[in-house]
Structure 1
Amino acid sequence: MFFKIYSFGCKVNQYESEFIKQIMCADGHEYTDCDDKAEIFIVNSCSVTAVSDSKCRKLLRKLRRVNPESIILLCGCMSQAFPRKYDNFNMCNIVIGNTTRSRVPEYIRQYLNTKENIIDIMDHDRKNESFEPCSVSNFSERTRAFVKIEDGCDRFCSYCVIPYARGRVRSKPLDELKSEVSLLAKNGYEEIVLVGINLSKYGTDIGLTLSDAVECVAEEEGINRIRLGSLEPELLDDVTISRLAACDKFCPQFHLSLQSGCTETLKRMNRRYTNSEYAEIVARIRRNFDNSSITTDVMVGFPGETEEEFKESLDFVTGIGFAKVHVFPYSRRSGTVADKMPDQIDNSVKEQRAKIMSDSCETKRLEFMESQVGLVCEVLFERPDSNGFYEGYSKNYTPVSVDTKGVDISGKSFNVLITGFDKERCFGVISED
């Protein structure tokens, strides 16, 4: 049967969707990007914000309305975090959570045999749950491959449902990582992005560290670039940064989750650092890596955020000079501590603060792009754009476009002299040096 996957949310979800795609194909199904052709729809949900939930439910309603005879399977964080919402959920034929995705083909077969709806959302076992064996051999239309090496989160930030959706921290063993990366290298991938729900905690359950995982991947001859997904900043100590800096294949791009630049707000969020500690981590990175890029997420309108706290956060974020910032308003999540906090902020105030923060961050983003002009950077090219320019990324993940006069350089790396930029990317010429 033909199937299509819709994947919401983070890089981990994208990896897991690719895993589901490959086990479905191995079971005899055929993937399609065409809604009209698909007989099975798999929706891998995200629940990091209320907006994420809303987008997913909107898609499910549309799929059921437009494709009334199709099989719809819902999985992921939304169903896992809020299972009671789906006891009588008539938009889907099959509803599972995050613990049984490897059984998706089995659920499909069961439904085809019985025509009875399936709801099977299993709780996480916080004492004995281990890392789910899963691997991928390729990624559709990508020069880089995501590899999930960690799942779960033990932080319990006051606004977040993800620990309930993902369970405790658990890590992929190095032998499994090595086998997966070796296969990806054989299939032509030279860039690996290690991802996880709380990636910085990789290995704490099996006596390893994140640096061990990076060094394991670096041993694979066919892999030339290694990146990391989103990181919790306080876990980047001197030893970790030194080991990463010693790895020639490591790309100096760090997404360090901030959430707020105000220490008092961070306390209410149950984050585990102050703004000054965060600033020192950024300084430590910049001392150890030339031309690094640091990106982050910033929430505005958290309960109790006064004008003074917002101003402190704005000044801090502006002062750091991030290469890129994802700004978003706080959204209430039932079951979290923050949902019951006093002094909830009006939506109009959240929107106003989000615009102010976004405008400031956009100015800094363009300043970062400008700082790349005149530098020679190694760029791994992916594909041509609509104008025939080839697009790729430097090691610090700056988007770069080059006019190759029609020469195909997909999947190849070149040193590029950056000569200019616009709002979206830098431009350059392939360097002869």
Structure 2
Amino acid sequence: MRAAFYTLGCKVNQYETQILEQLFFDNGFDIVSPDSPADLLVVNSCTVTAEGDRKTRQALRRFKRANPSGVAALTGCFPQAFPDIAEQIPEADVITGSRNRGSLLCAVEKYFATGRRVIEITPHERGEEFERMKAGRFLGRTRAFVKIQDGCDRYCSYCIIPTARGPVRSKPLEELREELEGLAAAGYREAVLVGINLPFYGKETGYTPRLIDAIELACAVPGIERVRLGSLEPELLTEEDIARMAAQPKFCPQFHLSLQSGCDNTLRRMNRHYTAAEYRAIVDKLRAAFDNPAITTDIIVGFPGETPEEFAQSLAFAREIGFAKVHVFPYSKREGTRAAKLPGQIPRAVKSERVAELAQAVEPARRAFLQAQVGRTEAVLFESAAAQGGVEGYTKNYAPVRVPGAGGELSGRVFAVEIVGVGEDCCLGRLAPNQGNPEIFSD
């Protein structure tokens, strides 16, 4: 029986989909791409924006048109946050929430046995434990995502995630060690520690342990040669944490610090827990502690009440920081959040104009970051063949590098590369003449 998986959203969702793929594969399913004919489609949904909901419905409809007798399963954040709406989607034969993810296989088997729709959505509750899951392999990937934290209680005014993901909970260190040892034995060189709100790792136990303890443990696992972090909320990074990270040779100096706005008035309406000045101070500390770090971010434009002057402040702040990359999003109204009821909702056309203006404004910093890599020799983890020819991969600070003329045999391996130029949104490199350039590790 053929099963396809379609994932929307963050790296946590990607990790969880890989766990589900592994579970279904181990129970006799052949895993195929979402575009292939299949007996089952699993949509692991994201509900951060209304666009995510639309793509979820679209994927289910498309699958049913192409596979009329196939079974469609909907899981993840969308049904967890909006169970009544999810139940109204006629194409979904099986619906589970993010808390019922572990029982998805049983729910699908129940549908195949009875032909009757299965809906299992259990609300989150205080005190629930971290969901036990362990990745053993990641189909088609050279780096391994490892979820170490789930849930959030920050309640940013625009965000539905606390409803979709529940309270803060963290993976025990011993379980993390066991998972990483298994991934190292499977040949993975790089582990990316991900979570819904990573700096809250250990909060439910009084920050004993903390995120830095998980980082140090990961760096100590033999065979794991790189340790990278997923998206971070900036305000919980302390000077001690930064110093301890910088002391780890395997740690990758790439920090995706979610900004959302460079204007203090907007940050207050968003219920973010830092000011632009505090954010700038954290960036300065990271740049002082690490050689050649990359600072990337997300910025929302068109938040309710954002005046032209406030947008200009945010744009100027983004220019000032000089991000290696910025993901720019128009504000998306989410029912069930406080921001959905705020006055001063911005017209779609204005949001589109601001997205384009900000994206253009931060592009020079992106090019400057790539240009700053030229002349350096960096360890590159190669991943796949490049569309323009050659092979492409990433440095420790996540600068994309393409090596023209190199072959696919480099995929999944780490080599020294001399950065010699800049192409279209990537660096250009050549294998360093290092005694025939044997494979090296990043430490």
TM value normalised by structure 2: 0.95
Task: Give the aligned partner of residue 272 of structure 1.
Answer: 273
8 A Cα contact 2:34 2:41, kept in partner: no
After superposition, give the CA deviation of every residue in 1:384-415 in whole Å (9 maximum; x if it has no partner).
22444121110000011113554832222222
Is 1:76–2:72 an aligned residue pair? no
After superposition, give the CA deviation of every residue in 1:240-291 in whole Å (9 maximum; x if it has no partner).
1111111110000000000000011000000000000000000000000010
Is 1:38–2:38 an aligned residue pair? yes
Task: Give the aligned partner of residue 441 of structure 2.
Answer: none
Is 1:234–2:259 an aligned residue pair? no
Looking at structure 2, the residues matched to 344 and 326 of structure 1 have their Cα atoms a distance apart, in angstroms, of 21
SS of 2:149's equivalent in the other structure is strand
Task: Give the aligned partner of residue 153 of structure 1.
Answer: 152
Is 1:330–2:319 an aligned residue pair? no
| Shift in CA distance, 275/86, structure 1 to aligned 2, threshold 3 Å | same
Task: Give the aligned partner of residue 408 of structure 1.
Answer: 409
Task: Give the aligned partner of residue 285 of structure 2.
Answer: 284
User: Shift of residue 55 of structure 1?
Assistant: 1.2
Is 1:182–2:181 an aligned residue pair? yes
Looking at structure 1, the residues matched to 215 and 143 of structure 2 have their Cα atoms a distance apart, in angstroms, of 15
Unaligned runs of 5+ in 1: none
| Shift in CA distance, 34/280, structure 1 to aligned 2, threshold 3 Å | closer
SS of 1:318's equivalent in the other structure is helix
Task: Give the aligned partner of residue 47 of structure 1.
Answer: 47
Q: Which amino acid aligns with 1:38?
A: A
After superposition, give the CA deviation of every residue in 1:206-243 in whole Å (9 maximum; x if it has no partner).
32111111111111110100000000000111011111
Q: Which amino acid aligns with 1:129?
A: E
Looking at structure 1, the residues matched to 380 and 221 of structure 2 have their Cα atoms a distance apart, in angstroms, of 20
User: Shift of residue 363 of structure 1?
Assistant: 1.8
Looking at structure 1, the residues matched to 392 and 45 of structure 2 have their Cα atoms a distance apart, in angstroms, of 30
Q: How many residues align?
A: 432
After superposition, give the CA deviation of every residue in 1:161-186 in whole Å (9 maximum; x if it has no partner).
01000001100001111111001000
User: Shift of residue 382 of structure 1?
Assistant: 1.7
Looking at structure 2, the residues matched to 302 and 331 of structure 1 have their Cα atoms a distance apart, in angstroms, of 8
Unaligned runs of 5+ in 2: 435-443
Looking at structure 1, the residues matched to 62 and 413 of structure 2 have their Cα atoms a distance apart, in angstroms, of 40
Q: Which amino acid aligns with 2:410?
A: I
Q: Which amino acid aligns with 1:425?
A: C
User: Shift of residue 34 of structure 1?
Assistant: 5.8
Looking at structure 2, the residues matched to 147 and 34 of structure 1 have their Cα atoms a distance apart, in angstroms, of 23
Is 1:21–2:18 an aligned residue pair? no
8 A Cα contact 1:388 1:406, kept in partner: no
Answer with 204-213 or 153-162: which moved more.
204-213
SS of 1:159's equivalent in the other structure is coil
Answer with 13-22 or 197-206: which moved more.
197-206
Task: Give the aligned partner of residue 86 of structure 1.
Answer: 86
8 A Cα contact 1:24 1:104, kept in partner: no
Task: Supply the RMSD in Å over aligned alpha carbons.
Answer: 1.3
8 A Cα contact 1:3 1:41, kept in partner: yes
Looking at structure 2, the residues matched to 431 and 324 of structure 1 have their Cα atoms a distance apart, in angstroms, of 27
SS of 2:287's equivalent in the other structure is helix
Looking at structure 2, the residues matched to 152 and 361 of structure 1 have their Cα atoms a distance apart, in angstroms, of 31
Task: Give the aligned partner of residue 124 of structure 1.
Answer: 124
Task: Give the aligned partner of residue 4 of structure 1.
Answer: 4
8 A Cα contact 2:403 2:430, kept in partner: yes
Q: Which amino acid aligns with 1:252?
A: P
Q: Which amino acid aligns with 2:155?
A: F
8 A Cα contact 2:422 2:428, kept in partner: yes
Task: Give the aligned partner of residue 254 of structure 2.
Answer: 253
Answer with 114-123 or 385-394: which moved more.
385-394
| Shift in CA distance, 275/387, structure 1 to aligned 2, threshold 3 Å | closer
After superposition, give the CA deviation of every residue in 1:120-149 in whole Å (9 maximum; x if it has no partner).
1110012x2010000111111211100000
Looking at structure 1, the residues matched to 259 and 84 of structure 2 have their Cα atoms a distance apart, in angstroms, of 32
After superposition, give the CA deviation of every residue in 1:50-94 in whole Å (9 maximum; x if it has no partner).
111111111112222222211110001111111111334311111
Looking at structure 1, the residues matched to 288 and 224 of structure 2 have their Cα atoms a distance apart, in angstroms, of 26
8 A Cα contact 1:154 1:163, kept in partner: yes
Looking at structure 2, the residues matched to 318 and 267 of structure 1 have their Cα atoms a distance apart, in angstroms, of 21
Identity within the alignment, %: 49
| Shift in CA distance, 88/304, structure 1 to aligned 2, threshold 3 Å | closer
Answer with 186-195 or 57-66: which moved more.
57-66
- Equivalent residue runs for 1:374-413 within 5 Å: 374-404=375-405, 406=407, 408-413=409-414
Looking at structure 2, the residues matched to 66 and 405 of structure 1 have their Cα atoms a distance apart, in angstroms, of 38
| Shift in CA distance, 111/306, structure 1 to aligned 2, threshold 3 Å | same
TM value normalised by structure 1: 0.97
Following TM superposition, the consecutive aligned residue runs of length 4 or more in structure 1 with deviations greater than 4 angstroms are 404-407
Answer with 114-123 or 155-164: which moved more.
114-123
8 A Cα contact 2:5 2:34, kept in partner: no
Is 1:301–2:302 an aligned residue pair? yes
SS of 1:138's equivalent in the other structure is coil
Task: Give the aligned partner of residue 200 of structure 1.
Answer: 199
Q: Which amino acid aligns with 1:144?
A: R
SS of 1:4's equivalent in the other structure is strand
8 A Cα contact 2:87 2:95, kept in partner: no
Q: Which amino acid aligns with 2:55?
A: K
User: Shift of residue 339 of structure 1?
Assistant: 0.4
Looking at structure 1, the residues matched to 101 and 47 of structure 2 have their Cα atoms a distance apart, in angstroms, of 17
Q: Which amino acid aligns with 2:187?
A: G
| Shift in CA distance, 382/266, structure 1 to aligned 2, threshold 3 Å | same
SS of 2:5's equivalent in the other structure is strand
8 A Cα contact 1:77 1:97, kept in partner: yes
Looking at structure 1, the residues matched to 70 and 133 of structure 2 have their Cα atoms a distance apart, in angstroms, of 27
Answer with 55-64 or 173-182: which moved more.
55-64
Looking at structure 2, the residues matched to 21 and 307 of structure 1 have their Cα atoms a distance apart, in angstroms, of 46
8 A Cα contact 2:42 2:73, kept in partner: yes
SS of 1:100's equivalent in the other structure is helix
SS of 1:42's equivalent in the other structure is strand
Looking at structure 1, the residues matched to 86 and 153 of structure 2 have their Cα atoms a distance apart, in angstroms, of 25
Task: Give the aligned partner of residue 171 of structure 2.
Answer: 172
